[in-house]
Structures are given as structure tokens and as C-alpha cells.
Amino acid sequence: MTDRDPDDRGARTRVMVGWMLVAMVVVGLIDLLTDSPRVWRSSHAAIELSFIGLAATSALVLLRGWLDSERSLVRVRATLATRQAERDHWQRLAQNALQGLGEALDRQFDDWALTPAERETAMFILKGYSHKEIANLTSRSERTVRQHAVSVYRKSGLNGRAELAAFFFEDMLLPSTATPTGGKTT
């Protein structure tokens, strides 16, 4: 079986359910019309009319829901495209700074003589990942990740993830709109 586009499956499902409901309405009307006039005033006719009304109402409710969902999906996709464009724009603007930061991190990791596994662990810690998340991402045990983290802290002379992050980012300031203490200038 091949993977199909979920939008295609959704559209096919909507069409199929729509036609099934239309068929129920048509079959109910045919059945009602083929009954004798004497039966039209009976409870049987009332039940058939209720069935036809329920099928028609269901079709309208489903159609409205599907249309609302599609409009919502269009809005979400537009927002996602905007956010992706913003991210791509930011990455292009920050490329040199990010590359320089990466090189500075690499030099510091060299100075601390971190192993490749310790470097990787240190980077994930700087990115804010937990030991469990790092273990999942690197296919290592959580215990091994903790050992790497302890080794990073020991080799760097730092006392944990907060000091590690502060070592690299403490002096990072926003442009002239912020004071060294992080407050806004007036």
C-alpha cells in the first residue's frame, strides 16, 4: 500500500460521506413517494420524513464543519509559512554571528579537552535539552549522558548547566536598547 496525501484521503472521505447522505435522502424520498397516499399520514411516513430530515441536516452540518476546517487549515498553513519565512530570514541575518559563536564554542571545548561525546552533550545542554532528551537523541543511556555532563563540568571547572550557559552567554547583550543589567534605558 502506498502513502497517499492526507488531503486527498480527506477529500475522498468527504465526497464519499456526502454522497452516502445524499443517497439516504434520495432513497428515503423515493420510498416515501412510492407509498400510497393513505400511508403518508401514518407514523411510517413521519419516521421516513424524520430520517430524510436527519440525513439532510447531517449533510449540511458536516459540509459546514469541513468548510470551516479547510478555512482553518489554510490559515494555519499561511501562519506556518510566515513563521518559516521569519525563521529563514533570521537565520540568514544571523549566519555569521552563529558561525562565529560555533567556532568560539569549538575553541573553548578544545581548551577543555572535551571528547566528541562530551562536546555533543555540552552542546545539547547549552540548547536546553534534559539528560533524558539527550539520551534519546544520541542513542545513549541517560546514565552515560549524565557521566558525560559531569565530565564536562569537571573539565571546565563549572558547577552545572546554569554555569555552563552563563560561561558562554553571560556577557551577551542586546544592542544599545538594553542596559548591562538587562533593564530598558529611559
Task: Kindly report, residue by residue over 128-145, the tens digit of the pLDDT.
Answer: 999 999 999 999 999 999
d(CA 186, CA 179): 10
Is 2 a residue whose pLDDT tops 80?
A: no
How many angstroms separate the CA atoms of 176 and 185, rounded? 9
Per-residue pLDDT of 26-78, as tens digits, reads 888 887 777 766 666 677 777 888 888 888 888 888 888 888 888 999 999 99
Question: What's the CA dihedral at 115, 117, 123, 127 to 10 degrees?
Answer: -160
Residue 186, pLDDT > 50, answer no
**Which amino acid is located at 37 in the chain?**
P
What is residue 182's three-state secondary structure?
coil
Q: What is the pTM of this model?
A: 0.49
pLDDT at 127 over 60: yes
Output 6 or 130, whichever has higher pLDDT: 130
The predicted structure's pLDDT at residue 182: 52
Please state, in angstroms and rounded to a whole number, the distance separating the CA atoms of residues 104 and 59: 62
Angle 161-141-136 (CA atoms, 0-180°, nearest 5)?
75
**Phi and psi (nearest 5°) for 178?**
-125, 150
Q: Given the C-alpha cell 552567554, which residue does it identify?
A: 169
